[in-house]
Amino acid sequence: MMTMKRDVLLALASVMAWLLASGCISHSVQSAPIEIKPIHITMDINLRVQKELDEFFDFEESAAPASGSPDARTDKEAR
């Protein structure tokens, strides 16, 4: 009888200890506001070089024979 009483008290003590310990555990979730910032994009475009190349090769278009055939294409059309 004594062992049964001791087992019940031990079980009751362990349940009480578990309940006390579980009360100390807490979870919290914090959500920060979402910041939307502008995106800065830098693009290097070589328009000046392309324009100079087009001007440089313009002499080929003016020197090309002006044939009426549809197969005759200039450099600009071939690009």
Residue range 1-26, pLDDT digits in tens: 568 888 888 888 888 888 777 766 67
Asked whether residue 79 carries a pLDDT value surpassing 60, the answer given is no
Dist. CA 61–CA 66, nearest whole Å: 9
**Mean pLDDT (the chain, rounded):** 75
* CB-CB contact of 64 with 78 (8 Å): no
User: What's at 65, amino acid-wise?
Assistant: P
| Helices marked H in the chain | 2-24, 47-56, 58-63, 75-78
Q: What is the mean pLDDT of residues 15-39?
A: 80
